[in-house]
Copies of this chain bind each other. A is one copy, B any other.
Amino acid sequence: MYRTHTCGELRIENVNQTVTLAGWIQRLRKMGGMTFVDLRDRYGITQLAFNQEVNSELFEQANKMGREWVIQITGNVAERYSKNQNIPTGDIEIIVSDLQVLNTSATPPFTIEDESDGGDDLRMQYRYLDLRRSVVRKNLELRHKMAIAIRSYMDKEGFLEVETPVLIKSTPEGARDFVVPSRMNPGEFYALPQSPQQFKQLLMVSGFDRYFQIVKCFRDEDLRADRQPEFTQVDCEMSFVHQEDILQMFEGLIKYLFREIRGIDFKEPFLRMTWADAMKYYGSDKPDMRFGMTFKELKPFTEGHGFSVFDSAEYVGAICAPGCAAYTRKQLDELTEFVKRPQIGAKGLVYVKCEAGGTFKSSVDKFYSQEDLKQWADFCEAKEGDLLLILCGQTMATRKSLNELRLEMGRRLGFCDKNKFAPLWVIDFPMFEWDEETQRFYAMHHPFTSPKKEDIQYLESDPGRVCADAYDMVINGVELGGGSIRIHDSVLQHRIFKALGFTDEKAEYQFGFLMNAFKFGAPPHGGLAFGFDRMVSMFAGLDSIRDCIAFPKNNSGRDTMSGAPSLIDDSQLDELCLKINLPTKE
């Protein structure tokens, strides 16, 4: 080893010991006849002292060094004159007697400090330098720790981690696959898994009983801010279980993680809410439960007063923003602008200020009397000083807009504390989603999801009302994971395929090997998958998953550090029997 100790471990007890340290120069301060160096490694920072009077040659050598040089020193541990209470090694320093420069460094393009002066793009291009910043490294240390904790819980519960293949068969249903040309089978392709769904179900058919895997998955989608083409899932499946068993098992996992990682003890069971209620009261299948402001449906109270906007609307919904009655014209205009943004989609915003003395001021008081408004306020449980914000229109669309408004108000009102966690199970998802464009039903979860027993009777007559044994775990408005009970009965599976408009041939082509496996004694089974990047990001209090990934890609799927993707040799293409066929520019 190039060192006897790390830069994080020496204390006052070590005074007078001779030690050897190695690390990077964080800072170098020249103070008259003394030069002080902050030596950094993963474990901490230790101050080195070079004294001109004691060893002028060493002192000169030290003064020639620069930031981020890698050095090895030997010296004596001494008590510091002025102690630094901010770091664990702050009581001591090393009086250096020997110095080896292990490597010099060019000047880094940004400062290696917790608050760096480097912009996002620059930090990504030099990610290996960005990773030197302890704030970034801590996220990856947390990620390591969480993976250890997850594996520990799962192992204790009898789950086996089984590696499923990365080079698999392409299944056109769902999101777009990344594909991998096969040289040995020219013209044919592997796909990279979007999830190990079919393999984990096969493992259940194999009697593995309890499977999990922390596994890379891939999705060739146009990337949004918080999506990566490769991401990591905690993928789980169990046999001989009902929905309740799965909820219990994985509520246990999340509680264990909060206890182990964040020291938070959730004693009560997590809240549960049906998908229908989530949509009705929050306009979202992943409501942020850190705060209230649930939706109130005002339609019955608004009709027949000559306000055609409300009268013609299918839905009129309000949220009550506590203490916001004093909002200025400007603030209300801002909110109106906010809801009218195309991604929110509302036509306008109606407000009711519940003012002191029980009076009301509203943008629609031309149409509604004080008594009318009082009725609304009472129904919304608004108190003096509160502000009702009302949207109207087509039901589902308006709920979605109102959800955005609710979240915006939550942020403005400081309700989105990153250190508060409000977990929720959303259950009873609809089985199918109707797609207007293609005029067919799609599986909301996936085609192997089991409908609720009591709804099976409606599969053919009224598919839209069939709910599934499907569930999502939502924390603070983030869908952390989700899953379902699977169909293990091949007759039922065929009815589902039919409802989804699959011909027998198409079902056979896409899922043939799984359907075939199910002929040989498939047990009842179900499972779920957590997004590990999101999970770490939430536990770390980050805004983006990118900062808990060592080498993330940008929004065009590019690694600006290595330059991937890149051109490959023609000889490689020839071996793969491929030709590039770029569209000609017009």
Using a CB–CB distance below 8 Å, which chain A residues touch chain B?
1-3, 22-24, 40-43, 68-70, 72, 102-106, 108, 126-129, 131-132, 137, 140-141, 143-144, 147-148, 151, 155, 160-170, 172, 176-192, 198-199, 202-203, 205-210, 216, 218, 220, 222-223, 229-230, 232, 240-242, 245, 488-489, 512-513, 517, 519-524, 549-551, 553, 556-559, 561-569, 572, 575-583
Report the Cα distance A178→B144, complex, angstroms.
Answer: 28
Residues A202 and B241 in contact, CB atoms below 8 Å apart:
no
Chain B, residue nearest A106 (CB): B519
Nearest 7 CB-CB pairings of A with B: A105-B521, A131-B206, A169-B564, A2-B240, A188-B565, A182-B565, A42-B209
Residues B166 and A216 in contact, CB atoms below 8 Å apart:
yes
* Cβ-neighbour of A41 out of B189, B207, B566 (below 8 A): B207
Residues B523 and A70 in contact, CB atoms below 8 Å apart:
yes
* Cβ-neighbour of A169 out of B151, B549, B562 (below 8 A): B562
Residues B163 and A241 in contact, CB atoms below 8 Å apart:
no
User: A532 CB to closest chain B CB, in angstroms?
Assistant: 9
Residues B577 and A578 in contact, CB atoms below 8 Å apart:
no
User: A142 CB to closest chain B CB, in angstroms?
Assistant: 10
Report the Cα distance A187→B582, complex, angstroms.
Answer: 7
Contacts A169-B559, A562-B169; is A206 near B128 (CB within 8 Å)?
A: yes
Question: Could you jot down 15 A-B contacts, CB within 8 Å?
Answer: A69-B521, A102-B523, A103-B488, A128-B202, A128-B205, A128-B206, A128-B520, A165-B564, A184-B222, A186-B582, A187-B580, A188-B565, A189-B567, A202-B551, A577-B580
Report the Cα distance A167→B126, complex, angstroms.
Answer: 18
Residues of B within 8 A of A172 (CB): 568-569, 572
Residues of B within 8 A of A155 (CB): 144, 148
Residues of B within 8 A of A522 (CB): 70, 103
Residues A190 and B577 in contact, CB atoms below 8 Å apart:
no
Chain B, residue nearest A136 (CB): B206
Residues B240 and A3 in contact, CB atoms below 8 Å apart:
yes
Residues B103 and A179 in contact, CB atoms below 8 Å apart:
no
Residues A165 and B559 in contact, CB atoms below 8 Å apart:
yes
User: A263 CB to closest chain B CB, in angstroms?
Assistant: 20
User: A493 CB to closest chain B CB, in angstroms?
Assistant: 12
**What 19 additional pairs, Cβ within 8 angstroms, besides A108-B520, A140-B162, A167-B564?**
A1-B241, A42-B208, A105-B521, A131-B208, A143-B162, A144-B155, A148-B161, A164-B551, A167-B559, A169-B559, A172-B572, A187-B582, A188-B566, A202-B551, A513-B561, A577-B580, A577-B582, A577-B583, A578-B578
Chain B, residue nearest A68 (CB): B521
Residues of B within 8 A of A40 (CB): 207
Residues of B within 8 A of A222 (CB): 184
Report the Cα distance A559→B218, complex, angstroms.
Answer: 19
Report the Cα distance A207→B6, complex, angstroms.
Answer: 12
User: A267 CB to closest chain B CB, in angstroms?
Assistant: 24
Residues of B within 8 A of A182 (CB): 557, 565
Residues of B within 8 A of A22 (CB): 240, 523
Query: Which of A191, A245, A521, A550 has the largest count of B CB atoms less than 10 A from its CB?
Result: A521
Chain B, residue nearest A201 (CB): B128
* Cβ-neighbour of A106 out of B1, B512, B520, B523 (below 8 A): B520
User: A346 CB to closest chain B CB, in angstroms?
Assistant: 32
Residues B206 and A180 in contact, CB atoms below 8 Å apart:
no
Query: Which of A245, A520, A568 has the largest count of B CB atoms less than 10 A from its CB?
Result: A520
Residues A524 and B240 in contact, CB atoms below 8 Å apart:
no
Report the Cα distance A513→B564, complex, angstroms.
Answer: 11
Report the Cα distance A529→B180, complex, angstroms.
Answer: 25
Residues B167 and A180 in contact, CB atoms below 8 Å apart:
no
* Cβ-neighbour of A102 out of B128, B166, B488 (below 8 A): B488
Residues B167 and A230 in contact, CB atoms below 8 Å apart:
yes
Report the Cα distance A344→B246, complex, angstroms.
Answer: 57
Residues B131 and A167 in contact, CB atoms below 8 Å apart:
no
User: A323 CB to closest chain B CB, in angstroms?
Assistant: 45
Report the Cα distance A582→B583, complex, angstroms.
Answer: 21
Chain B, residue nearest A170 (CB): B568
Report the Cα distance A242→B489, complex, angstroms.
Answer: 60
Report the Cα distance A567→B191, complex, angstroms.
Answer: 11
User: A485 CB to closest chain B CB, in angstroms?
Assistant: 12
Residues of B within 8 A of A220 (CB): 183
User: A194 CB to closest chain B CB, in angstroms?
Assistant: 13
User: A550 CB to closest chain B CB, in angstroms?
Assistant: 5
Residues B169 and A521 in contact, CB atoms below 8 Å apart:
no
* Cβ-neighbour of A160 out of B41, B144, B177 (below 8 A): B144
